[in-house]
Structure 1
Amino acid sequence: MITYLFTGLFTLLIGYFVYFNAVLRPEVINNPYNSRQENFAKRVVRGKILASDGTVLAETKTGEDGTETRSYPYGNVFAHVTGYATRGRTGIESLANFELLTSNAFFGEQIAKELKEEKNIGDNVVTTLDTKLQETAYNALGNHKGAVVVLEAETGKVLAMVSKPDFDPNRVNEDWDALNQSENSDGVFYNRAMQGQYPPGSTFKVVTLLDYMRENPDYEDFQFHCSGSLTEGNYTISCYGKNAHGNEDLRKAFAKSCNTAFSSIGLSLDEGTFKSNCEGLLFNSELPLQLPYSKSSFSLESGAAPAEQMMTGIGQGETLVSPMHMAMIMGAIANEGVLMKPYFLERVETYTGDLVKTFRPAVYGSLMTKQEAEILTEYMRAVVTEGTGSKLDNMGFFIAGKTGTAEYSSDKSKSHAWFAGFSDTGESDIVVCVLVEEAGSGSEFAVPVAREIFWAWNVGRE
C-alpha cells in the first residue's frame, strides 16, 4: 500500500514538474518579483525584438569593456508597444522577457561559452508588428495626444499600436526623473491604447444599434424626425452642430450619427437587457489581452433617469472604453461575429534564425451572430458612403466604420475625436481604431488618420 502511495506521489511530482516547465515556468520567471531574472541576465545577452519583417526594434549592444546597452533604433515610434528594459520592463520587453533571456543556441556552443565564462546569446522574438503601419500611424497622429490600434481581423495580430505623448526608450535612465515629475501631467508612460478610458461618443452607437436590433425584431420599421435637438424633462440633447436631419430611417440615423434619434432609442431600451448585451461585448469584464490594460465600464442600471438613458444611448454618460477594446469589437464585426484574441508575438528564433516556438491565432468566442455582424457592417458601410465617414469613400476598396465625437467635460465645446472601422478587400483586412484627445469631431480629426493607415496597408504595400 505504501509502495503504491509513494509511486502515486512520485508520478504526480513528475507530472507537475513537466507542467511547470511547459506552462508555468515562463510566467513565473517573467514575474518582476522573481530574483532569478537577474541570474538569467548574468548568463545571457538579451535577445532582439524584431518586427514581422525582421526589422530590429530592440537589441543589446556590447561595448569593448563589456558594458551592455539596450538600443531602440526607432526611438519614440514603438515606445509603448516595445517598451523598455531599464528601470523595470514594460511592453513586449516584459511580455517576452523569458524568451529574450533564454538561449536555444546550439548546445555545444552553449557549453563552450559557459566554459570560457562568456555569455550565451538570447533568442530573438519576432513580433506581429508592421514597421510601415506603425510609422504611418505614428506620423498621422502628429503632435496630438491619443492612440491608434491596428489589428488583423481574421487572426487578432496587433499590427500597430501607438500612444502619445510618448518617450524615447533609449533615454529612460537619463530622463527618468524629469518624466516622472509631478508637474508632468501628460503621463508619457501611460499606454493610452490599452489603458486609456474614454467616453466612446458615437462609436458606441454600434453597440446601441445591436441592442436595439435584438430588442426589436421590427427594427427596420424605425422612423424618426430629427429637428436638431431632443428634450426629455429638463434635459436636452442636440445633434452635432445642431444639425436637423429631418425624417430618418434607422440606416440614415446611424450614417448621419444622429444624436436625437439614438437618444430616443436609448430611452426605449430595457436597461437590464442593454447592460447584459454590453457585458456580452466585454464591458465590465476581463479582456483577453497580454499587456496591462484597463477594463471598460458600462454602468446603466434599471430605473436610470431619462437623461442618463439618453446619454448612454449616444456613448456619453458613465460609459468608458479603451481604443483597444473598441478595436476588438470592430474586429468581431469584421470577422463574422467571432473575436480573435489580440496577440503581439509571432515566433521565437535563435540568434542564428532557427525556429524555437510559434504563436498561433486563438479564438476568444462569438460576440454576436454572423447575421448581426453582416447587418452592422451594412450600416457602418453607409457611414462611409453617405454619412460622417465620407472622407474614406472612393479609396478603391471597401471600408466600413463609425465616427465619434465624445464630450469629456462640462464644457461641451471640448471633445475627443474617434474613428473605428475596418477594410474588406477579400484578402488580409485590418481593423483601425483612432482616438485623438481634445481635438474636435471624429470626421475632421480621426478619419484622416485612419485614411492614411488604410492607404498604407491596402495601396502603399503594392
Structure 2
Amino acid sequence: MEKKSKKKDKKDILNSKKGLRNKETNIISYCFMSIFAIIMVYLVIFNEFLAKDILNNPYNSLVDTQEDNVIRGDILASDGTVLATTQVDSEGNQTRVYPLGSVFSHVVGFNNNGRSGLELSENYYLLSKADNVLSQISDDIDGEMYEGDDVYTTLSVTLQKAAYEALGTNKGAVIAMDPTTGKILCMVSYPSYDPNDAVDDYSTWLTYDSDDSVLLNRATQGLYPPGSTFKILTLLAYMEQNSDYEDFTFNCSGSVSISGGTKINCASNTVHGYETLVTAFANSCNSAFATIGVSLTRAEYISLVSRFLFNQSLGVDFTYNESSFSLTTDSSISAVEETAIGQGQTMISPLHNLMIASSVANDGVMLKPYLVDKVVDSNGNTVISYDSEELGIMMSEKQAEYITTCMKQVCKTGTGSAFRNYGVSVAGKTGSAQYGDGSNYHSWFVGFAPADNPKIAICVILEGGFTGVSSAQYVARDVLDAYFGY
C-alpha cells in the first residue's frame, strides 16, 4: 500500500509539473497572440489614420528614399489637364514638370527643395502604389520603379487662367468655389513664381521681404482687415438681436460721433441721407453700421463671430492661417465701432471670407472647401473620392435670403457698380480696408452668382497700391465673365 501511495504521489507531482508547464506555455502563447493582435490593430490604425500625415511630413527623410523607387503621380485639373507630371529620362532620372508654370503655382505647389501646395498635402497618394504589399516587395527586390497615384483636382483651367490674368501684376488673391458643394474652382495668388524654377531659385525666393514673398499663398495664408465685407456679419448680428430689423431706419449725415467713441466717417464723407437696413448695406454706410455695432449685445456679437470660425480651425485639408477677432465684452466704444465696419484688430483670409459669403449663398449652411475630387491609381481604379461636407448651419434660410437681398442691392444700386446691368444677377459686398497709417487701403469683393441660384462664389483681395484696375470687383467680374462665357 505504501509503495502504491508513493507511485501515486510521484504521478501527481509529474502531472502538477506538466500542468504548470502547460499553463506557462499557454501564458506565453496568449502574450504572443496579444502582441500580434496589437501590432495588427496598430497597422490598421497607422494605414487608415496616420500614414498620410507621416508621409506628408516634410521632416520625414524616408520620403526622399521612397521617391527613388516611385514615379510620382500626376496632378490634374477637373477636365484632365495635367498640372504636374514626372518625366523620366533613359537613365532613370526624374524631373518634376509643371506645364502651366506660374498660373497654378501656389495651389499646385512644387516638389523641389521641399514641398508646398497639393504636392505636399497629397504627397501620400502621389507616392502610393496601386498593387498590394507583396507586389510592392517584389518590385523592390527586382529594382523596378512603380507609378504613384494620380490626383484629380476640382480646379478649372479656364477660371484659373482668367483669375491669373485679371489679377495681373497686382499683389493679392482670387479664390472661387461652388457654394453648394465646397469645390474650389480657382485659387490664384500674386506675387507668383514658376515651380519649374524651384530647384534653382528656391534659396533666392527665401530672401525676399515678407511683403514681396512669392512663397506666401495670399488666398489661404494672407491675413487682412476685412473692411466693409465684415458688415455681412454685423448685419446678421443685428438681425438676430432685433426681430424688427426690417423696420430699421437711419439718417446719414456723412459721419457719426457716438458718446465715448471716435468720429466715424463714411467713404469720402458721402452723405447717404435716409436709409433702410437694405440701403445702408448697399451704400456700405459706415455711420449706420458703427451705430448698429454699438447697439449690439457684445457677448452675443462675439459668439456669432466665433460661430463663423474666427480664432479657430477652418477644417480644410490644406495650408492656411486662422482669422483673428479680438473684440471682448470690455472693449471700448471706439473698438466696437471700428470692428462693426471691418476695421480695428480683426484679420481675415480670402479663403475665410469666401466661406462666409458661400454660407449665405447656400441657404445658411457652410461647407468645407476642398481641392481634390478623387485619386486614381495607375490601373485607372478610383482609390478615394471626395464629396461635400458640412461645417455647420451658420444662419437660417430666412436670414440668408434677407442678406442675399441686401447683397443684390449692392450690385444693383450700391457700391458694386461693376455689376450694374450684368448678364446675370450678382449678390456681393465691396470693401475698402485701411491699413498702416490709414492713408492706404486694400480693395475687397465677395459675392456669388446667379444670386437666386448660386453656382459660383468668389472672393478677391487687391493689396494697397494696385494699378490697372479700379477695384477688386472688376477682377471678380472678369472671372465671372469666364465662368458664364461672356
Give the aligned residue type for 1:71.
Answer: V
Question: Could you say if the C-alpha distance between residues 425 and 227 of structure 1 is closer, same or farther in structure 2, counting changes exceeding 3 Å?
Answer: closer
Matching residue within 325, 334, 343 for 1:316 = 343
Name structure 1 gaps, 5 residues minimum.
none
SS in 2 for 1:199: coil
Is the Cα–Cα contact under 8 Å of residues 414 and 440 in structure 1 kept in the other structure? no
What does the per-residue CA deviation read over 1:316-366, in whole Å, with 9 as the maximum and x for residues that have no partner?
Answer: 001110000000111111111111111111111123533222122212121
Q: CA deviation at 1:113?
A: 5.3
SS in 2 for 1:328: helix
Residues in 2 aligned to 1:112 and 1:312: alpha-carbon distance in whole angstroms: 62
Please tell me whether residue 79 in structure 1 is matched to residue 79 in structure 2: no
Is the Cα–Cα contact under 8 Å of residues 149 and 162 in structure 1 kept in the other structure? yes
Q: CA deviation at 1:66?
A: 2.5
* Matching residue of 2:364: 337
* Matching residue of 2:80: 54
Residues in 1 aligned to 2:482 and 2:430: alpha-carbon distance in whole angstroms: 20
Give the aligned residue type for 1:324.
Answer: L
Q: CA deviation at 1:13?
A: 4.0
Q: CA deviation at 1:444?
A: 3.6
* Matching residue of 2:473: 447
Matching residue within 200, 205, 221 for 2:226 = 200
* Matching residue of 1:130: 156
* Matching residue of 2:247: 221
Is the Cα–Cα contact under 8 Å of residues 354 and 458 in structure 2 kept in the other structure? yes
* Matching residue of 2:203: 177
* Matching residue of 1:399: 426
* Matching residue of 2:216: 190
Matches for 1:100-249 after TM superposition, within 5 Å: 100-104=126-130, 114=140, 116-181=142-207, 183=209, 185-232=211-258, 233=260, 235-249=262-276
Q: CA deviation at 1:33?
A: 2.2
Greater Cα offset, 112-121 or 308-317: 112-121
What does the per-residue CA deviation read over 1:405-443, in whole Å, with 9 as the maximum and x for residues that have no partner?
Answer: 000121x331000000111377770110000000479x9
Report the number of matched residues: 458
* Matching residue of 2:23: none
Q: CA deviation at 1:12?
A: 4.6
Residues in 1 aligned to 2:141 and 2:173: alpha-carbon distance in whole angstroms: 48
Q: CA deviation at 1:8?
A: 5.8
Please tell me whether residue 19 in structure 1 is matched to residue 48 in structure 2: no
Q: CA deviation at 1:454?
A: 1.3
Is the Cα–Cα contact under 8 Å of residues 311 and 323 in structure 2 kept in the other structure? yes
Matches for 1:275-294 after TM superposition, within 5 Å: 275-294=302-321
Q: CA deviation at 1:208?
A: 0.3
Please tell me whether residue 69 in structure 1 is matched to residue 95 in structure 2: yes
Greater Cα offset, 179-188 or 150-159: 179-188
Residues in 2 aligned to 1:438 and 1:100: alpha-carbon distance in whole angstroms: 38
Matches for 1:427-438 after TM superposition, within 5 Å: 429-438=455-464
> RMSD of the alignment, in Å?
2.3
What does the per-residue CA deviation read over 1:4-58, in whole Å, with 9 as the maximum and x for residues that have no partner?
Answer: 7776665454333222222222222222222331232011111111001110101
Greater Cα offset, 172-181 or 92-101: 172-181
SS in 1 for 2:219: helix
* Matching residue of 2:295: 268
Please tell me whether residue 359 in structure 1 is matched to residue 395 in structure 2: no
Give the aligned residue type for 2:270.
Answer: N
Q: TM-score of the superposition, structure 1-length normalised?
A: 0.93
Greater Cα offset, 179-188 or 77-86: 179-188
Question: Could you say if the C-alpha distance between residues 234 and 217 of structure 1 is closer, same or farther in structure 2, counting changes exceeding 3 Å?
Answer: closer
Question: Could you say if the C-alpha distance between residues 307 and 184 of structure 1 is closer, same or farther in structure 2, counting changes exceeding 3 Å?
Answer: closer
Question: Could you say if the C-alpha distance between residues 248 and 183 of structure 1 is closer, same or farther in structure 2, counting changes exceeding 3 Å?
Answer: closer
Q: CA deviation at 1:115?
A: 5.7
Residues in 2 aligned to 1:253 and 1:428: alpha-carbon distance in whole angstroms: 24
Residues in 2 aligned to 1:393 and 1:185: alpha-carbon distance in whole angstroms: 34
SS in 1 for 2:212: coil
* Matching residue of 1:369: 396
Is the Cα–Cα contact under 8 Å of residues 78 and 153 in structure 2 kept in the other structure? yes
Greater Cα offset, 319-328 or 217-226: 217-226
Give the aligned residue type for 2:79.
Answer: D
What does the per-residue CA deviation read over 1:293-320, in whole Å, with 9 as the maximum and x for residues that have no partner?
Answer: 1111111111322211111110000111
Give the aligned residue type for 2:484.
Answer: N
SS in 2 for 1:257: coil
What does the per-residue CA deviation read over 1:173-210, in whole Å, with 9 as the maximum and x for residues that have no partner?
Answer: 21123212255740110111111110000000000000
Q: TM-score of the superposition, structure 2-length normalised?
A: 0.89
Residues in 2 aligned to 1:226 and 1:440: alpha-carbon distance in whole angstroms: 30
Name structure 2 gaps, 5 residues minimum.
1-25
Bigger Rg over Cα: 2
* Matching residue of 2:13: none
Give the aligned residue type for 1:340.
Answer: L
Residues in 2 aligned to 1:229 and 1:388: alpha-carbon distance in whole angstroms: 18
SS in 1 for 2:459: strand
Q: CA deviation at 1:397?
A: 1.8
